[in-house]
């Protein structure tokens, strides 16, 4: 959350601004945790597409873009301990 980490990119534009910086630093991949309008983790197709499109518009195919598939509010019911 922005309160804890002010520099954390969470909007499509912030992802797009961050991507070229990562690329110039030598990264070849970027991992995104897409957020909804309330800054909560989101797997909504439109939200993910907006983030992907923003990054792709800025860096083209020079970075592999990985969008997280985990939802931190979902907890497994099986214990492996």
Is 81 inside any structural domain? Answer: no
Is 1 inside any structural domain? Answer: no
Query: What confidence tens digit (pLDDT) does each residue in 6-63 have?
Result: 888 999 999 999 999 999 999 999 999 999 888 888 889 999 999 999 999 999 999 9
Is 38 inside any structural domain? Answer: yes
Which residues in 1-81 belong to E strands, given as ranges? Answer: 29-32, 64-67
Question: What secondary structure letter does DSSP report for 72?
Answer: T
3-state secondary structure (DSSP) of residue 62: coil
Q: How far apart are CA 36 and CA 16, in angstroms?
A: 16
| pTM, 2 dp | 0.81
- Domains of the chain: total: 1
Is 51 inside any structural domain? Answer: yes
Is 3 inside any structural domain? Answer: no
Is 34 inside any structural domain? Answer: yes
Is 49 inside any structural domain? Answer: yes
Per-residue pLDDT, 41:
86
Determine the structural domain holding residue 39 and report its residue range: 12-67
Is 30 inside any structural domain? Answer: yes
Per-residue pLDDT, 59:
97
């Amino acid at each position: 959350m922005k309160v804890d980490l002010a520099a954390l990119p969470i909007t499509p534009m912030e992802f797009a601004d961050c991507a070229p910086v990562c690329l110039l630093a030598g990264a070849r991949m970027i991992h995104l945790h897409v957020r909804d309008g309330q800054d909560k983790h989101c797997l909504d197709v439109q939200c993910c597409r907006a983030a992907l499109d923003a990054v792709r518009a800025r860096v083209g195919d020079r970075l592999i873009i990985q969008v997280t598939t985990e939802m931190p509010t979902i907890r497994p019911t099986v214990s492996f301990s």
